[in-house]
Amino acid sequence: MKFGYTRCVAKHCVFYRRHQGKIVIIVVAVDDLSLTSSSRQLLLESKTDLKSEFSITELGEVHWLLGVEVKQNCMTRSITLSQKAYIDMVASRFHLENAKPMHTPMETGVQLSQVTRVEDDEWPFPYREMIGVLMYMVMATRPDIAFTMLTLAQYMQNPTHGRQ
């Protein structure tokens, strides 16, 4: 705030500063900062400001940020985000490495229904954890699975085996 940054209302870990039509954005993740800017000069000035207040180790361009792979292409002036490694790790964690890929995230016309209370020891699959993982994927790089994740999240209280 001392250097004129404004905290983003929607994401409290994001700060930004506008200067002469240019912008610099700082994303805070615990003790890591990622900076980006529409101006190299403004980016350098921001680093200088931060160094005057904090002990900083520069690690160069960002390649990974919170489980998201970041690929920058200067030729096309593009940035590509991917969670392939994260998704592979999640598939392994939930023993889904051999699951078959699908073109759509959920079978069309599937009918789900509520059931009576199921005791946790009757349902060993960590359903709630899986929904949390899916939520993170939706927020980061996979908005295409949002409908499926929200549909499945409606059944977090009483997940069951198979269909009713």
- Is 14 inside a domain boundary? yes
Domain housing 131: 94-153
The DSSP secondary structure of 45-108, one letter per residue, reads: HHHHHHHHHS------S-SEETTEEEEEETTTTEEEEE-HHHHHHHHHHTT-TTPPP-SSSS-T
For residue 79, what pLDDT is reported?
87
For residue 62, what pLDDT is reported?
86
Q: Which helix (H) or strand (E) holds 127?
A: helix 127-140
- Could you give the CA distance from residue 149 to residue 138 in angstroms, rounded to a whole number? 8
**Whether residues 15 and 75 fall in one domain:** yes
pLDDT tens series, the chain, 164 aa: 889 999 999 989 999 999 899 999 999 888 888 898 999 999 999 999 999 998 888 888 888 887 889 998 888 988 899 999 989 999 999 888 898 888 888 877 877 777 666 565 555 568 888 889 999 899 888 999 999 888 888 877 766 655 44
- Is 161 inside a domain boundary? no
**Whether residues 76 and 101 fall in one domain:** no
For residue 46, what pLDDT is reported?
93
**Whether residues 146 and 109 fall in one domain:** yes
For residue 25, what pLDDT is reported?
94
Query: Within a 10 A sphere around the Cβ of 43, how many other Cβ atoms?
Result: 16
Q: What's the number of domains the chain is made of?
A: 2
Q: Of 82, 102, 128, which one is at a domain's C-terminal end? A: 82
This prediction has a pTM of: 0.64
For residue 163, what pLDDT is reported?
46
- Could you give the CA distance from residue 118 to residue 116 in angstroms, rounded to a whole number? 6
The answer to whether 26 touches 16, Cβ cutoff 8 Å, is yes
φ, ψ for residue 92 (rounded to 5)?
-65, -45
For residue 164, what pLDDT is reported?
43
With a CB cutoff of 8 Å and minimum separation 6, the contacts of 131 are 149, 152, 153, 156
- Which residue type is seen at 72? Q
- Is 99 inside a domain boundary? yes
- Is 163 inside a domain boundary? no
For residue 101, what pLDDT is reported?
83
Supply 100's token pair: 């078959």
